[in-house]
Chain A
């Protein structure tokens, strides 16, 4: 197996608000290997964006704070890293692209200016060289008339183009890890596919590891090698994309997949998991998903299940994996769709 680029161990990022402490990320452990695309999936409020911002240490603080855990980036624990060290890493070895291409670029500076800034923050080269590199990057991400676009302002470009610019900016310093926080959510479907293709190519050619945050299982199927499913600040299931999509173990993942529209079956109404993601609370009792789970039994409301290891990097957080003798068993799920 390739070397590990990023390893989160029992990461806790909490928000300290007037209404109390909120464990937005509650003990999350994720490994990302070199050249791998790992997806984090979950509904809004599941803590996936906070996880990604924690890695960059861009959590708005106050109120947010990384309370405990480790974030090892190529062996260096970023939890203790100074702001100075983080500035060297951000945009250089760890890059990030965001959900909203329409507002993620500064409207008052040209595309070129913003790219050149990103390049010159980390590379000691002249403005002229940086400009050439910026234009090269724009070409690389498939922007036509890159030289002209470098002199234009963000409002002169479409959403897809702006997201390409964001990717060019993120890739300009050849990062080891690219964090993409819902990069295609705000784009229409054809542009989505183009952006995903682009990211896939960059991943293959540059061997960049990608941590992709999304709520869209279609995007996951398209690009991810491995998937982590998050719910209410915790991981509920992990596995390869194939395993997760074909053979989901956790009732929540099963529900997510059931709620996808199916081309072959004409159902009257699309399935949806009843209820909403609860707001994470400190010292909450029981499984977070229990109130919405159709298989929940008494124990689910009394204690929070741990993650049951079901194979190589395959795990699920559900008591159904425990048989009467307390041993772990696979395929605990009730047969879905029947």
Chain B
């Protein structure tokens, strides 16, 4: 197991190098002078020269890349051109917001998706199976922005059950510690605030989690159906075990590998920032952070945003691979 993890970690190194090469090249792949592009057409020569100086654009590429990687290794993502703040400190609250939303969206998606998939496979061709798969089909086809707007209209506007946007009640903001607000409010032992924050999470989580949920449900169902036909399931039945043990112990564990792959990929996609959902619900996440940086041509922020998202993706893949190994002892690299 340990050697598996070590080998898997070593496999990450070339990926990480590739990532830095791509993010590094972004600035240089723009046609023309990067400083000129960043500052706009009307910028004067001194401003451009100053920016080139401060960004180190006068050095040879290799030196620039070396400096870039060296800074990254020290946790230095550079400075935002717009706010002049250190990106490494500025970016965290955005990551935390996305992270929190993704966790809740995926919990929702996994819980409902996996169980709906299992029951659909168990009662294949029943009315439950039919309805669940119909909803799954609707779930994957529905446009996220439409679903989000409908949620806001029905549950916030008409019924008033949940707030329509934001992470918290802005008249009474939390004193952030980790910027994961649910966690923070528990640290503060402020449970009524935790309630409010959870309420804020519900609508965006559902909007964001619906597509993964539908994909997970369909994947779980087909994977379970496949496994239920196998010889070892017949053996378990011949041993005299009940349906529950057959399904939730023997079949589920075998059906889990492809489901896990989908869960990993979907988590990665959500963590990459869901611009639409974040915009509609005024959620200050990484997607919006990068999106705004693009409109201000804030290249260091764009670079860092992409790098961070890619890094998270790599980490998730690592976790998924380790989980594979825990589930299936036959897997080896």
In the complex the two chains form, what is the Cα distance from A153 to B232 in whole Å?
13
- The answer to whether B231 and A98 touch across the interface, beta carbons within 8 angstroms, is yes
- The yes or no answer to B239 lying at the interface (CB within 8 A) is yes
Are A153 and B235 within 8 A (Cβ)? no
Stretch among B21-29, B94-102, B174-182, B324-332 lining the A interface: B324-332
Could you tell me the distance between the alpha carbons of A100 and B254 in the complex, rounded to whole angstroms?
18
Task: Decide yes or no whether A331 CB sits under 8 A from chain B.
Answer: no
The answer to whether B232 touches A103, judged by C-beta atoms less than 8 angstroms apart, is yes
- A91 close to B238 (CB less than 8 A): yes
- Known contacts A106-B250, A108-B329, A155-B330: does B241 contact A121 (CB below 8 Å)? yes
Q: Which chain A residues border B235 with CB–CB below 8 Å?
A: 98, 104-106, 166, 169
Within the assembled complex, what's the spacing in Å between the Cα atoms of A155 and B254? 14
Contacting B239 at CB < 8 Å: which of A103, A121, A153? A121
Interface centre among A58, A90, A92, A108 (most CB of B within 10 A): A108
Known: A98-B231, A107-B330, A153-B330. A90 touches B253 (CB 8 A): no
Would B238 and A103 count as touching, CB distance under 8 A?
no
- Given A108-B254, A108-B329, decide whether A98 and B241 contact each other with a Cβ distance below 8 A: no
B329 neighbours in A (Cβ, 8 Å):
108, 153, 155
B7 within 8 A of A: no
Alpha-carbon distance between A103 and B235 when the two chains are bound, in angstroms: 10
- Which residue on chain A has the smallest CB distance to residue B237? A58
Which chain A residues border B241 with CB–CB below 8 Å?
Answer: 87, 91, 117, 121
Say yes or no for B240: interface residue by CB 8 A criterion: yes
From known contacts A108-B253, A108-B254, A153-B329, infer whether A103 and B240 are also in contact, taking CB-CB under 8 Å.
Answer: no
Residues of chain B contacted by A98 (CB below 8 angstroms): 231, 234-235, 238
B69 contacts the other chain (CB 8 A): no
Interface size on A, residues (CB 8 A): 28
Distance between B58 CB and nearest chain A CB, rounded to angstroms: 59
Cβ of B179 to closest chain A Cβ, rounded Å? 39
Type the 1/0 row for A84-107, where 1 means its CB is closer than 8 Å to any CB of B: 001111111001101010011111
How far, in whole Å, are A185 and B66 apart by their CA atoms in the complex?
64
The answer to whether A65 has its CB under 8 Å from any CB of chain B is no
Cα of A108 to Cα of B324 in the assembled complex, Å: 11
Distance of A308 Cα from B324 Cα, bound (Å): 60
Interface string of B229-266 (1 = CB under 8 A from A): 01110111111111001000010011000000000000
Q: How large is the interface on B (under 10, 10 to 19, 20 to 34, 35 or more residues)?
A: 20 to 34
Closest A residue to B242 by beta carbon equals A87
Task: Give A103 to B238 CA distance when docked, in angstroms.
Answer: 14
Most buried by A among B234, B245, B253, B254: B234
CB-CB under 8 A from B328, the residues of chain A are 107-108
Known: A98-B234, A103-B230. A108 touches B327 (CB 8 A): yes
Q: Which residues of B contact A87 (CB under 8 A)?
A: 240-242
In the assembled complex, the Cα of A109 lies from the Cα of B238 at a distance in Å of 17
Residues of A within 8 A of B230 (CB): 103
B330 touching A90 by the CB < 8 A rule? no
With both beta carbons as reference points, the residue of chain A lying nearest to B329 in the complex is identified as A153
> B33 → chain A, closest Cβ, in Å?
58
Within 8 A of A (CB), among B294-333: 327-330
Residues A56 and B238 in contact, CB atoms below 8 Å apart: yes
CA–CA, A95 and B234, complex, Å = 12
Please indicate the chain B residues that have their CB under 8 angstroms from the CB of A103 in the complex: 230-232
| Structural contact, B242 and A107, CB atoms closer than 8 A | no
Interface-central residue, B230, B232, B239, B245, by most chain A CB under 10 Å: B239
Separation in Å of the A83 CB from the closest CB of chain B? 9
With A153-B330, A166-B235 known to touch, is A90 a contact of B240 (CB < 8 Å)?
yes
Instruction: Assess the B231–A96 pair: CB atoms within 8 A.
Output: no
Interface residues of A in 246-282 (CB under 8 A from B): none
Contacts of B231 in A (CB 8 A): 98, 100, 103-104
B-side contacts of A88, CB under 8 Å: 240
- Which B residues are in CB contact (< 8 Å) with A155? 329-330
Any B CB within 8 A of the CB of A314: no
Which residues between 208 and 234 of chain B lie within 8 Å of chain A, taking CB atoms?
A: 230-232, 234
- In the complex, the answer to whether B327 meets A92 with C-beta atoms within 8 Å is no
* B contact residues around A92 at 8 Å (CB): 240
- Are B232 and A104 interface neighbours, CB within 8 A? yes
Distance between Cα atoms of A122 and B241 in the complex (Å): 9
What residue in chain B is nearest A170 (Cβ atoms)? B238
Q: Which of A89, A104, A169 counts the most B-chain CB atoms under 10 A from its CB?
A: A104
In Å, the complex CA distance between A95 and B238 comes to 7
Q: Does A202 contact B (CB under 8 A)?
A: no
Contact B232 A117 (CB under 8 A): no
Whether B254 and A106, one on each chain, are in contact in the complex, defined by CB atoms closer than 8 angstroms, is yes
Output the nearest chain B residue to A173 by Cβ-Cβ distance: B240
In the complex, what's the smallest C-beta–C-beta distance from A306 to chain B, in angstroms?
Answer: 34
A56 to chain B, nearest CB (A): 6
Taking the closest CB of chain B, its distance from the CB of A102, in whole angstroms, is 8
CB <8 Å contact, A121 and B240:
yes
B254 to chain A: closest residue by CB:
A108
CB distance from B156 to the nearest CB of A (A): 45
Contacts of B245 in A (CB 8 A): 117
Would you give 16 A-B contacts (Cβ < 8 Å), ordered by A? A87-B241, A90-B237, A90-B238, A90-B240, A95-B238, A98-B231, A100-B231, A104-B234, A105-B232, A105-B235, A106-B232, A106-B253, A107-B330, A108-B328, A108-B329, A117-B245
Apart from the given pairs A90-B240, A91-B241, A105-B232, 19 other A-B contacts in the complex at a CB distance below 8 Å: A95-B238, A98-B234, A98-B235, A98-B238, A103-B230, A104-B231, A104-B232, A104-B234, A105-B235, A106-B232, A106-B236, A107-B254, A108-B254, A108-B328, A117-B239, A121-B241, A122-B240, A155-B329, A169-B239
What are the 8 tightest A-B residue pairs by CB atom distance, in nearest-first order?
Answer: A91-B240, A90-B240, A91-B239, A103-B231, A106-B232, A96-B238, A118-B239, A104-B231
